[in-house]
Amino acid sequence: MNLRLIWVNLDTSAILKNRLYVFMKSFGEGTQNYIKELEKRKGKGYIKTSYQLVGLNIAVILRDMEHKSLYIKLAKESNPDTLLRIAKTVAEREDVKNRGAYFMRLISSEGKKPDFKGGFKSGFKKI
């Protein structure tokens, strides 16, 4: 009786090893297909909200696509119309070397911080 149980255990372990091999083989093929699918999708992003569109427009206007996530965050937290107006003003200036830095300087100049409800408010230091 024990001999038969041992035989069954060996038989089931062989079946499990075979299934594991098939699973690992299909997992490897699936991984390669998944990587190919990711390569196809690369560069195809979707804009879901208006502040994402505004942030990307600011990045295009300033020619600073490296910091597009920063501009999206600014558009979400402050008045997008004001940010677009400032970005267009910066883009019109030909003597500005780093448009993104100049844009941020204009936003944060004189202690002004982006207001969450729109526009800009002056920042006061606590003494």
Regarding whether 17 and 65 lie in a shared domain, the answer is no
First to last CA, the chain: 88
- Residue 55 covered by a domain: yes
Using CA atoms in the order 51, 56, 62, 68, what is the torsion angle rounded to 10 degrees?
A: 100
Instruction: Tell me, yes or no, whether 14 and 58 share the same domain.
Output: no
Does 125 map to a domain? Answer: no
SS (H, E, C) 11-29: HHHHHHHHHHHHHHHHHHH
114 shares its domain with 74: yes
Q: 75 in a domain, yes or no?
A: yes
pLDDT for 127: 47
Give yes or no for residue 67 having a pLDDT over 80: yes
Kindly report the average pLDDT of the chain as a whole number: 75
Closest CA to 88 of 44, 80, 120: 80
Instruction: Identify which of 37, 100, 107, 102 has the alpha carbon closest to the alpha carbon of residue 79.
Output: 107
Give mean pLDDT, residues 26-55.
Answer: 80
In terms of domains, do 29 and 54 share one?
A: no
Q: Is residue 127 part of a domain?
A: no
pLDDT in tens, 69-93: 999 999 999 999 999 999 999 999 9
